[in-house]
């Protein structure tokens, strides 16, 4: 938010550059098997970037490389202007408290309640926050993620798949991150749950001023909430842009992806929704 004065020490400052994530010439490999070769990708601040690609094209590996969980064989990954490439997973980088990650299965700590799960990152990074405030924070975070209040005291095994995702999101949001990584957030959700999660993602992005890196297979998600879409194929990002821009490139995979039966269905449903929404809702 640019109206705020620029006088405070670095550690309390939100990222003001244009590109919170910059990947340059990335190569990752497992033994002999090269997953990415010369991959470059830039994420703009404040956007929801959808990342798509066929199974096995390394979408999750790319995310793991960006958050420093994956060994980078060549190239550089910068997050908030700091190089992440090949930092030790346990090294203090000063950026880990500025992003939140929602893993595919939620990755909630199964022995802790949802509320305690949300408190874990807070306790880890800010041990000076009092116990009472900690509970309050975890409670409103859980509710912010669209869970009912009594979910705070529940264990992950007592939650449904969709609720686990929301609980995982609450933990990802625990530290008020500027950057949110979502790995297939709507996979395994029913269409209603998936649509609700999409809306939630967009709402949170707007309220909290997040930048979202979203891996998905869900065409509806792409049409509904993504500002730009990056397409992974042939070991690199072959195109980035809005969906109309992508359709103009005539890469066969992109064409098949968006113009296949499911792609057309998603497109049609989005147009219908727009037609219904337009009288009441302006551009968000």
Partner 1 sequence: MDGGAHFSVEEVEGSGAQLRLCGPYLVSTIGAIDQDLDAIAGPFTTIDLSQVTEIDTVGAWIASRLARNHGAEITGASARAERLIRAVQKSVSQEEVLPIHEPIWQRVPLFMGDKVEKAWHGIVGVVGFLGQVLIGFGTLLRHPRRIRWTALVRQFELVGVAALPIIGLMSFLIGIVIAQQGAVQLEQFGAETLTVNLVGRITLRELGVLMTAIMVAGRSGSAFAAQIGTMKLTEEVDAMRTIGISPIEALVIPRIIACTFMMILLSFFSSVAAIVGGAVVGDLLLGIPFWNFLDRIQDVVPLHDLYVGLVKAPVFGLIVGLAGCYHGMQVRGNSEEVGLRTTMAVVSAIFAVIVLDAFFAVFFTEIGWG
Please give the Cα distance from 146 to 206 (Å, whole number). Answer: 15
Contact 225, 198 (CB under 8 A): yes
Q: Does residue 282 interact with partner 1 by CB under 8 A?
A: no
Which residues, 84 to 113, sit near partner 1 by CB under 8 A?
97, 110-111
Burial of 155 (0-12, 13-18, 19+ CB in 10 A): middle
Q: Which helix (DSSP H) or strand (DSSP E) does residue 269 occupy?
A: helix 261-277
Q: Is 146 or 162 the residue whose CB approaches partner 1 more closely? A: 146
Q: By rule CB under 8 A, what string of x and - marks binding of each residue 173-192 to partner 1? A: x-xx----------------
Please give the Cα distance from 145 to 170 (Å, whole number). Answer: 6
Nearest approach, Cβ of 113 to partner 1 (angstroms)? Answer: 10
Any idea what the Cα angle at residue 170 is, between residues 169 and 172, rounded to 5°? Answer: 60
Cα diameter, the chain: 57
Q: By rule CB under 8 A, what string of x and - marks binding of each residue 210-249 to partner 1? A: ----------------------------------------
User: Of the listed pieces 139-147, 189-197, 247-255, 257-265, which binds partner 1 according to CB under 8 A?
Assistant: 139-147
Nearest approach, Cβ of 72 to partner 1 (angstroms)? Answer: 28
Report the residue from 82, 124, 126, 259 that binds partner 1 according to the rule CB under 8 A.
126
Q: Does residue 127 interact with partner 1 by CB under 8 A?
A: yes
- Residues that bind partner 1 (rule: CB under 8 A) add up to a total of 41
Please give the Cα distance from 172 to 166 (Å, whole number). Answer: 10
Report the residue from 18, 136, 245, 256 that binds partner 1 according to the rule CB under 8 A.
136
Report the residue from 36, 141, 228, 235 that binds partner 1 according to the rule CB under 8 A.
141
Q: Coil, helix or strand for 242?
A: coil
Contact 167, 185 (CB under 8 A): no
Q: Coil, helix or strand for 136?
A: helix
Instruction: Transcribe 159-227 into DSSP letters.
Output: S-HHHHHHHHHHHHTTT--SEEEEESTTTT--HHHHHHHHHHHHHHHHHHT-EEEEE---HHHHHHH-S
Report the residue from 86, 93, 120, 155 that binds partner 1 according to the rule CB under 8 A.
155
Q: By rule CB under 8 A, what string of x and - marks binding of each residue 47-86 to partner 1? A: ----------------------------------------
Report the residue from 93, 107, 120, 129 that binds partner 1 according to the rule CB under 8 A.
129
Report the residue from 88, 150, 248, 250 that binds partner 1 according to the rule CB under 8 A.
150
Any idea what the Cα angle at residue 98 is, between residues 179 and 209, rounded to 5°? Answer: 45
Report the residue from 76, 83, 140, 233 that binds partner 1 according to the rule CB under 8 A.
140
Residues forming contacts to partner 1 in the complex (CB under 8 A) are: 1, 3-5, 7-9, 11-14, 97, 110-111, 122, 125-130, 133, 136-137, 140-141, 143-144, 149-150, 152-153, 155-157, 173, 175-176, 207-209
């Amino acid at each position: 938010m640019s109206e705020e004065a620029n006088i405070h020490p670095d550690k309390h400052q939100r990222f003001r550059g244009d590109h919170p994530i910059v990947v340059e010439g990335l190569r990752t490999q497992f033994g002999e098997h090269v997953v990415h070769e010369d991959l470059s990708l830039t994420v703009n601040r404040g956007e929801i970037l959808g990342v798509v690609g066929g199974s096995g094209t390394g979408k999750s590996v790319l995310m793991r490389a960006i958050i420093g969980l994956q060994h980078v064989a060549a190239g550089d990954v910068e997050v908030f202007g700091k190089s992440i490439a090949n930092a030790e997973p346990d090294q203090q980088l000063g950026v880990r408290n500025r992003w939140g990650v929602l893993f595919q299965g939620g990755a909630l700590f199964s022995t802790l309640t949802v509320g305690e799960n949300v408190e874990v990152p807070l306790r880890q990074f800010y041990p000076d926050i009092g116990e009472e405030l900690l509970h309050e924070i975890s409670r409103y975070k859980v509710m912010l993620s669209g869970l009912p209040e009594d979910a705070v005291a529940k264990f992950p095994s007592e939650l449904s798949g969709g609720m686990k995702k929301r609980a995982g999101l609450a933990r990802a949001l625990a530290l008020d991150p500027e950057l949110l990584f979502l790995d297939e957030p709507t996979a395994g959700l029913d269409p209603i749950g998936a649509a609700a999660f999409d809306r939630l993602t967009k709402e949170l992005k707007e309220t909290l001023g997040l930048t979202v890196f979203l891996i998905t297979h869900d065409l509806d998600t792409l049409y509904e909430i993504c500002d730009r879409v990056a397409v992974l194929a042939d070991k690199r990002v072959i195109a980035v842009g809005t969906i109309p821009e992508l359709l103009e490139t005539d890469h066969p995979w992109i064409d098949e992806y968006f113009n296949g039966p499911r792609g057309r269905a998603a497109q049609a449903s989005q147009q219908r929704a727009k037609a219904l929404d337009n009288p009441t809702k302006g551009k968000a």
